[in-house]
Structure 1
C-alpha cells in the first residue's frame, strides 16, 4: 500500500475524529437532546430490555415509528447497562464519525477524485447545521442516514459485476433501513430504479434481480406493518390527510435548501424556484447518466437517491399530514444532494485542457466552498454560544426551561399516590408526563377525529396533566375541555399548567 493509499484513510479518520468532537461539544452541557420522539424511542427501548417487548410508556406497541431504532437502543442499553438518555450522546458521536468515514471512503472512489475536494466536502458535511442538530438528539435519522451510505457502498459493489451476493447484501441493508424509518422505502425505490434503467443487464436477469431485491428489501417492513395492523388496527398509527398543497410543500422544501445554502429568510421568495431547479437538475443528471450508460458510479447513486427521497417527501407531505418539511426531515438528502451538485465539477476540471484555465476554475470552486463552509460555521458557532456557552442546552426536555420549571420539578418528586391506579390519566404532552414522572398517560384526542373526542368526553373519570406552553392546535385544548365539563384543580402552576381531575359527578358546563 502506497503512502497515497494510506492517506486516503488517515485523512478521513482525522475528519471522523473532528465529527465525534463536534457532537461532544454540542452535548457537553445537558447531554443528548430529548424530544417527544426521543421519549417514544427510549420508553420502547427500556421495555425491550426489561420485558422483551417494544411497548411504549402507554403500554401499547410502538406503531408511529418502525421497530428497529428502539430495538437498536435497547441492545446497546442491554450491553452497556446504561439508559439511552445517558449513552445517547456518545452513540450519536460514534455514528456521526462513522458517517463521515463512509463519506470519505465514497469520495475517495469518485471518478475522477480529488483530495482537496474531499476535504472541503467533508468539512461541509460535518458543519451542516441540519446534520449537527440530528446527531445531537435521540432520533432514528442518526441511524438511517448512515444506512443510506452503507447501502450505496454495497450496491455499488453489485453494480460492478452484478453478483447475486452483493444484491442480497444491499437488499438486507434496505430491509433494515425500512424498519428504521418508514421513509426508507426510498432506498428500495433507488435500487429498483437503477436496476430498471441498467441496460447492461439481460432482460431475464434484470427481472429476476428486481424481484429478488424487491422481495428481500420490503420483507421486514411488511412484517412490521402486519404486526402493527394485527395488534393496533392501524399499519402506521392514525394518520390525518394533509392540509398543505403540493406547491406549498415545494416551497417548504426550497426553504430548507435556502437555509442550507446560508440564505437569510428575506431571500426565501426564491424557495419554490430553487426546489424546482434542484429536482429537475437531478432528473436531468440521471437521464444524462442513463444516456452515457454510467449508472454504476457513486455519483449517480447519490443523484438517484436524492431525487427519489426529495420527491417522496414532497409528495407524501401533500397527501398525509406530519411535521412540516424541515431540515430534520430532509437531512438524509443533504450528503447525496451535496455530492450531486458538486462532483460534476471534478469531471469538468478534468476536461479542461488549458492548465491556467483549470487552475482559475479550481480556485473559484475552492473559494466558493470555503465561503460556504465559513457561513455554516458561523451558524454553528451561534448555536454553540446560545446553547452551550450561555448554558441553555439542546432544546427539549433537558434544557434550562425545563430544568427551572416548577411544574417539571414537582412531577419528578411528587407523591404518585394522588393518582388512583384504576383512573386513566390524559395529557396534552403524554411523553412529557412519562419523562418527568414515569407515569403512563394518554394524549387527549385530535380535533380531526370527532368520534375520539366524543369518546373522551364520555369517560366517567380521569386525571388531566396540562402543559400550557406545549399546547398544540390540532388537539382539543384546555378551553375546549372546560367548556364541556367541570374540572377540579389538584395542583396549579400558573402559566406552566396544572393537574386536574374530572370525577364524573361535577356539573356539566354544556349539556
Structure 2
C-alpha cells in the first residue's frame, strides 16, 4: 500500500514536471522569435508602450500624441512601466519578455487544470499541446498586446473557481476576486469574467444560499471597484466612460459569420469544419440522452467542472458579437476571440474524458482507445499546421507590424531618424503616426480623419482645421504611400482643403509642409 502511494505520488510529480516543461518550451518559443526583432507592434501596441514610457517619467496616463489614455484599461502599460522602473528596460524591449513569460504560464496553468480534471494523461498531453502549438495564442503572444495577460488572469480565475466551488475556502475566493478585478483592468471585456464569477457563486457555490449572497456581493465589490474608479476617471478627463466610440460598419449577421469563420478553423479543417462540428454535437447529444440514470450525478459534476469555462465562452462570444454590431472597432478576428480558445479546450477535453468512460464500461478498451486517439490527434493536426505555416512565414519575414524588417528599413523612417533635430522643430502629422513615434522617436499626430475608425460615422473637416489652427509651430505632414487606413482623408482630399508644399520625395512616401496662414 505504501509503495503504491509512493508510485502515485511520483507519477503526479512526473506529470506536473512534464506540464511545466511544456510551459518552459512555450516561453522559449516566444522569446526565440521575438527577442531579436522585438514584439510585434500594432497601433494599440504603440499606445501601450507610449503610455508606459510616460508613466515612468511622471507624465501620467497619456498617449504618444498627448491624448489621455481612455480607450483601454491601464494594467498592461502599468506592468511595462513597472518593469522599466525596476530594470531600466524600455517597454519596447520588455514587452517581448513579459509576453513570453505569460505564454509559458498559460501553457502551464492549462496543463495543471487538465491534470486536475482528466483521468487520461494522454488527453492531458494532447490538450496541453493544443494550447502550446495554437496558432492563435502564439500569434497574440508575439504581439505587444494585452490579450496574453488577460488570458493569464482568466486561467487563474478558472483554476480557482472550481476549487472554491468544491471546498469553499478563502484563498481561492480571494484569487478569483483579484483575478477578475485585474482582468477588468486589462481589457474592458473583463466585465465578462466579473459576470461569470457572479453567476458561478450564486449557482454552484458550496455554502448555503444565504452565505453565497454575502460572497456574491463581496466578489462583486472587489472585482468591480478598480475598473469603476478607472471609468469615473475617464469621465472626468474625456466626458466619456471608455473613450469616444462610433457606430459599427458591420451587421449582426456579418459579425456572426466572422465569428464562426474565425473560431472553427482553430480546431478543424475549414472545408470539413461544419461536418466535424455536427458529428461532435451528435456524440454529445447521444451521451446526454441515452446514458443511464446512474450517470446523472456524474453529469452534474461534469457541469460544475466545465460550467465556468462554458459560461465564460458563451458570455464573451455574445458580448463580442453584439458590441461589434453596435460599436466600431476591429473586425472579429483571432485577436478578439483568443481569450475563448483555452476555455473551449477545457470544455471539449473534459467532456471527451467523461464520454470516453462510458463505452469503456461496455467495450474492449483497445477497441475504443485506438480510434479515439486517432480522432484526438486529428484534432490537434489543424492547429499544428496553422502554427507551422505562421512560424515559416515569420522566419521569411521577421517581425510583425511595425517591428518587421520592412518597416525598420523604410526609407521614410530612416530619413526622419537622420534629420531628427530638424523634424522636431515642426508639429508633425502623418497617416502612420504610430510608426513615426515608435521607429523614429518623434511625437506625431494622426492626419485628418473623415470617419471614425472602422465606422461610416463621419467627422467634419472644420474640426480638423480648427485643431490645426491652434498649433504654434509650422506643420509637417509625413505621408506614407502604403496605408490601409481608409477612414483618413486621402492626400488628394487634403490638398483640396489645405495648401501644401512637397519638400521631400522618397520611395515609400512624401513629406509636405504648410504654414498656419496657408490653411483654406
- Tell me the distance in 1 between the aligned counterparts of 2:403 and 2:231: 33
Q: Assess, with a 3 A threshold, how the Cα gap between structure 1 residues 479 and 380 changes in structure 2: closer, same or farther.
A: same
Unmatched runs of 5 consecutive residues or more in structure 1: none
Unmatched runs of 5 consecutive residues or more in structure 2: 1-5, 290-294, 452-456
How far did 1:192 drift? 1.3
Q: Which residue does the alignment assign to 1:429?
A: 432
| Deviation readout 1:351-400 (Å, 9 max, x if unpaired) | 23446444333322221222233333232222222221x3x112211212
Q: Assess, with a 3 A threshold, how the Cα gap between structure 1 residues 166 and 378 changes in structure 2: closer, same or farther.
A: closer
Q: Which residue does the alignment assign to 1:453?
A: 461
- Tell me the distance in 1 between the aligned counterparts of 2:490 and 2:123: 53
| Deviation readout 1:160-194 (Å, 9 max, x if unpaired) | 23345533431121111101111111101111122
TM-score when scaled to structure 1? 0.89
Q: Secondary structure at the match of 1:82?
A: coil
- Tell me the distance in 1 between the aligned counterparts of 2:338 and 2:39: 18
TM-score when scaled to structure 2? 0.87
- Tell me the distance in 1 between the aligned counterparts of 2:12 and 2:158: 21
- Tell me the distance in 2 between the aligned counterparts of 1:116 and 1:44: 44
Q: Secondary structure at the match of 1:90?
A: helix
Q: Is the 8 A contact 2:414 2:440 kept in 1?
A: no
Q: Assess, with a 3 A threshold, how the Cα gap between structure 1 residues 222 and 289 changes in structure 2: closer, same or farther.
A: farther
Number of residue pairs the alignment of both structures matches? 492
Q: Which residue does the alignment assign to 1:400?
A: 405
Pick the aligned partner of 1:228 from 218, 229, 234: 234
Q: Which residue does the alignment assign to 2:151?
A: 145
Q: Is the 8 A contact 2:265 2:382 kept in 1?
A: no
Alignment of 1:328-343 (within 5 A): 328-343=335-350
Pick the aligned partner of 1:411 from 416, 427, 433: 416
Q: Secondary structure at the match of 2:116?
A: coil
| Deviation readout 1:15-57 (Å, 9 max, x if unpaired) | 1122122213432552321221111111111111222622221
How far did 1:218 drift? 1.0
How far did 1:217 drift? 0.8
Q: Which residue does the alignment assign to 1:16?
A: 23
- Tell me the distance in 1 between the aligned counterparts of 2:252 and 2:388: 35
Q: Which residue does the alignment assign to 1:84?
A: 91
- Tell me the distance in 2 between the aligned counterparts of 1:374 and 1:291: 31
Q: Establish whether residue 387 from structure 1 lines up as the match of residue 394 from structure 2.
A: yes
- Tell me the distance in 1 between the aligned counterparts of 2:156 and 2:202: 21
Q: Is the 8 A contact 1:239 1:320 kept in 2?
A: yes
- Tell me the distance in 2 between the aligned counterparts of 1:400 and 1:353: 54
- Tell me the distance in 2 between the aligned counterparts of 1:426 and 1:418: 11
- Tell me the distance in 2 between the aligned counterparts of 1:204 and 1:361: 46
| Deviation readout 1:57-90 (Å, 9 max, x if unpaired) | 1223311111110000111122121112223323
How far did 1:200 drift? 5.5
Q: Is the 8 A contact 2:150 2:339 kept in 1?
A: yes
- Aligned-residue CA RMSD (Å): 2.8
Deviates more, 1:65-74 or 1:394-403: 394-403
Q: Assess, with a 3 A threshold, how the Cα gap between structure 1 residues 348 and 359 changes in structure 2: closer, same or farther.
A: farther
| Deviation readout 1:217-256 (Å, 9 max, x if unpaired) | 1111111111111122222222111121111111111011
How far did 1:450 drift? 4.9
Q: Secondary structure at the match of 2:177?
A: helix
Q: Establish whether residue 474 from structure 1 lines up as the match of residue 487 from structure 2.
A: yes
- Tell me the distance in 1 between the aligned counterparts of 2:174 and 2:205: 20
Q: Is the 8 A contact 1:199 1:293 kept in 2?
A: no
